[in-house]
Structure 1
Amino acid sequence: MKVKSKTQLKFKSSKKAKIIYETLEVDNENFLSSKLSENTITYETDNDSLKTTLATIDDLIACEILAEKITTIKKDH
Structure 2
Amino acid sequence: MKIDAKIQIEYGNSKDADISFQSLEVENKGFIKSNKEENILNYNLSAESLSTFLSTVDDLIFSEILVEKVLKSTSTPKHQ
TM superposition score normalised by structure 1: 0.90
Structure 1 residue 71: Cα displacement = 2.4
Counterparts of 1:13 and 1:31 in 2: how far apart (Å)? 26
* 2:54 partner amino acid: L
Gaps of 5+ in 1: none
Aligned length: 77
1:67 partnered with 2:75: no
Q: Which runs of 4+ in 1 moved over 6 A?
A: none
| Aligned-residue RMSD, C-alpha | 1.5
Q: Which of 1 and 2 has greater Rg?
A: 2
Q: How does 1:34-53 map to 2 (within 5 A)?
A: 34-53=34-53
TM superposition score normalised by structure 2: 0.87
Percent pairwise identity: 40
